[in-house]
Chain A
Amino acid sequence: MTARLLIVGGGMAGTIVANGLARRLSHELRSGDVNVTVLGTSNDHMYQPGFLYVPFGRVRSQELKRQERSILDRRINFVIDPATHIDVDANRVVAQSGKSYGYDYLVIATGSRLVPEQIPGLTEGAYHCYDLEGARKLRGAIDAFEGGRIVINVNAPHKCPVAPLEITLMLDEHLRDRGLEGKFDITYTYPIGRLHSLEPVAEWAVPEFDRRGIKYQTFFNTKEVDVAKKVVHSEEGDSFEYDLLITIPPHRGAQVIEDSGLGAGGWIPTNPRTLLREGSDNVFVIGDTTNIPISKAGSTAHFQADTVVENLTMMVQEGRWSREYDGKVFCFIETGLSRGTYIWFNYKTPPRPTPPTQMVHWFKLAYNRMYWLSACGLL
């Protein structure tokens, strides 16, 4: 009997799982003992960390997009048919076409979505770089900027937790390079009582911000944006006037997760080590979709995908478990346009940022190209 492996989501996590399974289960795929299907929403596969470079003209949009079908191993069934209901009791997924997809093992990798509309005025008043269209618009706004007050406004929850710091430092350097030093000021707002969730990163950021004259306001959870007056207000009672407002919009999980009753906010209760959905023994959840209290980042999705590939392979081939996810996360941090650093941590090891270097920046730029090898399951 053929084992049916269904992956919902064709982003980084779903794609790495699919290609990893194709490599490890090649014999079973050839014999027909296994089939692997990816149920996606689009044939566009975006390299999302690359959006950060778009506002500064450092990357071409075409470099960030490939066709999902061209990345997936040819032995993977790829269907563009957005899932509309995931029924974990009946082991099936219903999609937009009305078709029902049964499975023996399910991997849910539906990701997260931007919901700026949750905050009045944010959609109309702010720019962002968390999708390609937003990043292009932000580039236009930065190109047109000739001086004034910039507010970089971070909201919770959001993916890629170091991106707010990166865009702040890169923007500061970019504007100085354009000869605007002394003609602009940047204020960075953050929801909790320090500049970043990670305490060592926050401690590193304070002198860096002070050295550059970047102002900051902690405990700032955005209440609303008065677009006409160009003022952003917080739940805590603080307000800032701006000429250019750049936001990190709040996120939610995919609509299908909420519609299927699988988790509040679109985040699925997930065991942090097995990555199994709480209450299921054949449903894995990875990437942004989990409710695990860990960074929603590409590297998280990647390391989780590797774990799921190992476990699914072992379960299919030997009927036993392989290994658990150790909570590993790795993030590059661009500290400007020519230097960078990185952090890594897991459930037991705290992060320790190292001094920024040009070498790490170059490695980050190299990884931006090498990403496609990761998606193909080769790196």
Chain B
Amino acid sequence: MLGYAIKRIALALLILVVVMLGMFAMVFVIPGDPASIALGPRATPELKALLIQRMGLDQPLLSQIWHFFRAAATGDLGIDVWSKRPVLDVILEVFPQTLLLGVVSLGWAVVLGIALGCLAVIWRDTFIDRLLGVLSVSMISVPSFVIALYSLLIFAVWLGWLPAIGAGQKGDWASQARALILPSFAIGVTWIGYIARLVRASMLEVMGANHIRTARAFGLPETVVVLKYALRIAIVPTIAIVAIGAGSILSSAVFVETVFSRPGIGTLITGAVEKRNYPVVMGTVLFMTAFYLVVVTAADLLIARLDPRVRDVLRG
């Protein structure tokens, strides 16, 4: 298990480096000189040169990459060109908002998804099962920004039940919770559908397995059969999907935070790209990739904990 954990973490670090190299390449492909955009059309060449120097853009590419990685390894992601604050501080200031949004979205996607999936299994092949199927597929197919825009229109504009923009008053939990409902609904709804389908399929598969019949043939109570023998296996694909979902939810957050004007990583990175604020772009991407890899690696380790076969296959 330890060897497997080390292998997974090493792989995660490698992915991180590859992503950052890719990110560097992309930043240099994007047209637009950051200094001209930052300083406007009437900037003098001297000012531009100064800014380019301060951003380190005059140095050779390889040296830029080297400096970036060396600094990143010590937790220094550079200085925000605009606000002159450390990028890490800027990220950490807004990250809790995105994390909260993601956790709440995924949280009720998991709760509702597992519940709907189990209902479909209980009422298998009935009208309810088919209705839940249609509902799930509809939820999967509608993109989160469409849900975001329409829920905004219906609940905030027409009905006026919920706030349209912002993250609520600081220190006022009720207002913050109310501001979370629409955005987390917009993000989570796709995942309710996914998880419901997945839980249904894996529960049906597991309940038909021979070892469930064995457990029943030895007279184990049905609760033990379902909770100890079936759910433990059926939950594995769901964990994997939820971990991958963490990544997808971060990208949905970019849309949804923009639509709802919520502070967060999404609005931060959109603004930074528009202003060619490269240290913030790079820092945010690095931070989010690292976060995503932590989640996925943790899920892999959890799955290996739950399923000894995975452990053995990966040990080789």
Specify whether A and B are partners: no
B residues lining the A interface (CB < 8 Å): none
A residues lining the B interface (CB < 8 Å): none
